């Protein structure tokens, strides 16, 4: 039966008929795929987990199993199809790795697909429950932290020795009557006020609620806007940029071997070509660089001039290299938590920070006496249109400060990671078919707004943060490096 027929003969009205007023003391029970989310397929989220925990080979395994899953879904049952996806994705995988992906990767993609009508009703209720066929370990983190769900009932996964067996446990896959049984076990004789579903197999649990509403698959609706979310996703991890539908996943698998060879060539060009011609070398290899504003000339040591301090927003660890490319001359940079491989292949001088304030200040002053220097005071990268809090140390060391707004464009892979090996970051960035960098040189910090004129270092840092954010149309935050790593990796980002 098609979804159109289900809607036509459904005993339940559509969700747009549900009033969201006066629901503060009511309980809502909602399905996930096709209900809270616009998309009805869970394949993209299984694909994200597969790629992040097992790389290309695990994603390829899932792709090879997906036709069988689809066949079983339509010819046998929804439960049988989901079991195949679960097995191909999770068999032999550490449960802790799945939990890490669920915390750091999936929320970004889930939040981009939130159904506006379902969210209107769900958010209006005082108690919120989600009943889903998806593995609970994959969805619970997002639903509780970002959507305020009080209870998440999903398919339980079998485990042995801390690893997933690939089989489901407990009640099995929560579809059809299994959902109704799970709901009754959770609420007993109490009847939740609202039940939201999107397909015929949701009818059994919806019938146990006082009111049931169907979320139709058509017409297409726009997802809830980011600014309307109760908690925006500021930090997220994972390598894939696009939601991996079957077609996108297949293209990713086919492109990666070619993309890696292309990345090796691009990295080699960046390491070996003279900085004066690197701009043209990158352009010939499909890397787009856009330079805006008026960069200052190099300092004249013979005239006693100290170097200029470039203060950049931080998108990837390649920021100082592309800044140097835009200037046509190598600029020294200070680093922290950069892999030895990245240091070895870097075409510019890199100096490690010690995180000892006095030592770092002395080192930065010495480097400025030798020439220009670039610093990313956020201390770590952020992918979203937000700027993290700027460390204020740099403002105490010089008044010759030029803010630089940096933004990147990628279509397939993110060139940053909090959980993975940072040595692969440049390669993943250059694996994109046509990555781009936009470097905007802003006006030099006026003397009257510097520490030399009596301003505090924190005032200077906050001013420059707002200045760069305004140029990029980004939002300033007070989040720090530690906040990012605690959210994504469960540590404070400290590197021994």
- Bridge-based pairing state of the strands 163-169 and 401-409: unpaired
pLDDT, one tens digit per residue, over 374-404 is 999 999 999 999 999 999 999 999 999 999 9
Domain boundary among 182, 201, 228: 228
Confidence of residue 304 (pLDDT cuts 50, 70, 90): low
Q: What is the pLDDT of residue 9?
A: 62
Question: Where do runs of H (alpha helix) occur along 328-356?
Answer: 340-345
Q: Nearest to residue 121, comparing CAs of 228, 16, 225, 20?
A: 20
Phi–psi pair at 396, nearest 5 degrees: -80, -15
Same domain, residue pair 192 and 46 = yes
How many whole angstroms separate alpha carbon 55 and alpha carbon 264?
19
Whether 493 shows a pLDDT value over 70: the answer reads: no
**Exposure b/e, 431-468, CB count within 10 A at least 16 = b:** bbeebbbbbbbbeebeeebbbeeebebeebbbbbbebb
Same domain, residue pair 143 and 258 = no
Q: Are 131 and 29 in contact (CB under 8 A)?
A: yes
Lookup result for tokens 């301003």: 455
% of the chain exceeding 90 in pLDDT: 81
CATH classification of the domain holding 89? 3.40.50.1000
Same domain, residue pair 205 and 265 = no
Q: What is the pLDDT of residue 1?
A: 33
Structural domain includes residue 104: yes
CATH classification of the domain holding 420? 3.40.1130
Structural domain includes residue 475: yes
Whether 446 shows a pLDDT value over 90: the answer reads: yes
Phi–psi pair at 484, nearest 5 degrees: -65, -50
pLDDT, one tens digit per residue, over 128-149 is 999 999 999 999 999 999 999 9
Domain boundary among 167, 195, 228: 228
Whether 3 shows a pLDDT value over 60: the answer reads: no
Structural domain includes residue 1: no
pLDDT, one tens digit per residue, over 347-370 is 999 988 887 888 989 999 999 988
Q: What is the pLDDT of residue 339?
A: 74
Same domain, residue pair 344 and 257 = yes
Same domain, residue pair 222 and 270 = no
Average pLDDT for the chain: 92
Q: What is the pLDDT of residue 492?
A: 67
Same domain, residue pair 200 and 255 = no
Q: Nearest to residue 405, comparing CAs of 474, 451, 336, 349?
A: 474
Same domain, residue pair 390 and 474 = yes
Range of the structural domain that residue 280 is part of: 246-488
Confidence of residue 5 (pLDDT cuts 50, 70, 90): very low
How many whole angstroms separate alpha carbon 167 and alpha carbon 83?
7
- Bridge-based pairing state of the strands 373-375 and 309-312: parallel
Q: What is the pLDDT of residue 7?
A: 46
Same domain, residue pair 307 and 419 = yes
% of the chain exceeding 70 in pLDDT: 96
Domain boundary among 184, 201, 228: 228
Of the ranges 1-10, 174-183, 206-215, 441-450, which one carries the lowest mean pLDDT score?
Answer: 1-10
Structural domain includes residue 133: yes
Q: What is the pLDDT of residue 2?
A: 36
pLDDT, one tens digit per residue, over 202-221 is 999 999 999 999 999 876 78
Of the ranges 217-226, 261-270, 371-380, which one carries the lowest mean pLDDT score?
Answer: 217-226
Average pLDDT over residues 276-296: 95
Average pLDDT over residues 71-89: 94
Domain count, the chain: 2
């Amino acid at each position: 039966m098609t979804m159109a027929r289900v809607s036509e003969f459904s005993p339940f009205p559509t969700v747009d008929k549900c009033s969201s007023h006066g629901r503060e003391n009511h309980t809502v029970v909602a399905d996930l795929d096709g209900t809270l989310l616009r998309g009805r397929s869970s394949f993209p989220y299984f694909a994200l987990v597969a790629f992040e925990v097992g790389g290309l080979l695990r994603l390829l395994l899932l792709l090879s199993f997906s036709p069988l899953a689809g066949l079983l879904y339509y010819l046998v049952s929804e439960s049988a199809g989901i079991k195949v996806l679960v097995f191909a994705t999770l068999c032999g995988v550490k449960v802790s790795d799945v939990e890490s992906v669920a915390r750091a990767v999936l929320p970004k993609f889930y939040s981009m697909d939130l159904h506006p009508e379902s969210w209107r009703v769900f958010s209006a209720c005082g108690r919120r429950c989600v009943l889903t066929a998806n593995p609970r370990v994959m969805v619970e983190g997002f639903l509780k932290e970002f959507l305020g769900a009080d209870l998440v009932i999903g398919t339980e996964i079998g485990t042995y020795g801390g690893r997933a067996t690939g089989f489901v446990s407990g009640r099995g896959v929560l579809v059809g009557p299994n959902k109704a049984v799970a709901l009754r076990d959770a609420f007993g004789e109490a009847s939740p006020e609202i039940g939201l579903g999107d397909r015929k197999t949701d009818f059994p649990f919806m019938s146990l609620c006082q009111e049931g509403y169907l979320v139709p698959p058509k017409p297409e609706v726009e997802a809830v806007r980011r600014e309307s979310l109760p908690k925006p996703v500021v930090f997220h991890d994972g390598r894939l940029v696009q939601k991996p539908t079957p077609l996108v996943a297949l293209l990713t698998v086919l492109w990666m071997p070619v993309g890696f060879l292309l990345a090796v060539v691009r990295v080699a060009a960046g390491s070996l070509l003279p900085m004066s011609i690197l701009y043209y070398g990158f352009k010939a290899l499909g890397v787009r660089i856009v330079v805006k504003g008026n960069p200052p000339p190099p300092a004249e040591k013979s005239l006693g001039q100290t170097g200029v301090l470039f203060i950049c927003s931080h998108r990837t660890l390649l920021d100082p290299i592309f800044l140097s490319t835009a200037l046509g001359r190598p600029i020294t940079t200070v680093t922290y938590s950069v892999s030895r491989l990245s240091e070895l292949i870097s075409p510019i001088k890199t100096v490690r920070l010690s995180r000892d304030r006095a030592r770092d200040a002395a080192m930065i002053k010495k480097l400025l006496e030798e020439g220009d220097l670039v610093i990313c005071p956020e201390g770590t990268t952020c992918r979203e249109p937000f700027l993290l809090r700027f460390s204020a140390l740099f403002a105490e060391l010089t008044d010759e400060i030029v803010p630089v707004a940096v933004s990147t464009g990628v279509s397939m892979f993110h060139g940053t990671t909090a959980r993975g090996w940072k040595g692969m970051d440049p390669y993943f960035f250059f694996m994109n078919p046509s990555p781009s960098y936009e470097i905007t040189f802003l006006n030099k910090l006026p003397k009257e707004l510097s520490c030399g004129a009596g301003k505090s270092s924190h005032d200077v840092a906050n001013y420059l943060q707002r200045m760069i954010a305004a140029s990029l149309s980004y939002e300033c935050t007070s989040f720090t490096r530690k906040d990012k790593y605690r959210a994504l990796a469960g540590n404070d980002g400290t590197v021994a």
